[in-house]
Amino acid sequence: MLAHPEAVKELRVSIPGKTIWDMIVAGEAIISDGGEVATRKLGHIATILMTLLFVIRASTLGGMFSEEDIWMDDQGHLCMIIRFIKCWVTGQQKSTGKKLPIRRVGRDSIPPGENEQHPRSRAFAIIMEAKKRGSICWLPGTYEERPYRAAQAMSEMMENYGWNLVTSGRKASSHSGRKTGVSVLDALTEGRSRPQIMEWMLVTDVILVGRYCERDYSVTPFVAKMFDWMTLPK
């Protein structure tokens, strides 16, 4: 007996390249708008871009103390302090002994693109403008509550903008930024850099990379450039 159509669980998938492009363009279009609505939307776009670039969950964003946890260093690299990771009991990764906070700085930061028109540089500009306006930490609740409320809040936000739409039965959600980043990196390196991707995800088994990876994800040239610092020959 087939399940009722409304009872079929939708498949949560990566964010399409077209949607990522649309978000970047939307963010750039409202940077000059100092209004409350534009400021709020910039914060929303910035947080999605952060989950994409740092391949982090919404709950990690919820663990931020303030906008001071994201910044650009004197070389233009995007840096972040990670204060919460799901399943790190007592703030520690049991198998490795790594402890929170994790500082994405220096060699673990994200370099800018080769010029201001590079997709990654454009994403940085939106994130930094949102930080300047104090709109990155928009997730609801107290510091203790935010990591556990973040996923639902981000999924609802994406749905309100229509950014969750992919195809029938397939939708993007709060987890899709992380999933997209992994899928893009794995596709660009043809599965050869899973240990490196594992380190960036802060997981301890390459099997998890494979589980996150959406093998049929279509990587657009725009999205590919957002990750070229990890895929170009050193």
Q: Could you tell me the residue ranges of all domains in the chain?
A: 14-150+172-226
Tokens of 73: 């260093």
User: Does the pLDDT value for residue 43 go beyond 70?
Assistant: yes
Whole-number Å distance between alpha carbons of 209 and 81 = 22
Residue 232 is predicted with a pLDDT of: 65
**Cα 118–chain centre separation:** 18
| pLDDT, mean of residues 46-68 | 97
Cα(49)–Cα(54) distance, rounded to whole angstroms? 8
Asked, as a colleague might, if the bond just before 119 is cis with ω within 30 of 0, I would say no
User: Each residue of 136-191: pLDDT tens digit?
Assistant: 999 999 989 999 999 999 999 999 999 998 987 889 999 999 999 999 999 999 88
Q: Which CATH class is domain 14-150+172-226?
A: mainly alpha
Ramachandran assignment for 109, one of left (phi > 0), alpha (psi -120 to 50 degrees), beta (any other):
beta
Least confident segment among 4-18, 85-99, 109-123, 167-181: 4-18
Q: Is residue 129 within 8 Å of residue 31, measured between CB atoms?
A: yes
- Across-strand partners of 72? 78
Q: Residue 8 pLDDT more than 50?
A: no
70: alpha, beta or left, given left = phi > 0 and alpha = psi -120 to 50? beta
**Residue range 101-150, pLDDT digits in tens:** 999 999 999 999 999 999 999 999 999 999 999 999 999 999 899 999 99
Burial of 80 (0-12, 13-18, 19+ CB in 10 A): buried
pTM above 0.85, yes or no: yes
CA distances from 137 to 45, 62, 68, 130, 190 (A): 12, 8, 10, 9, 35
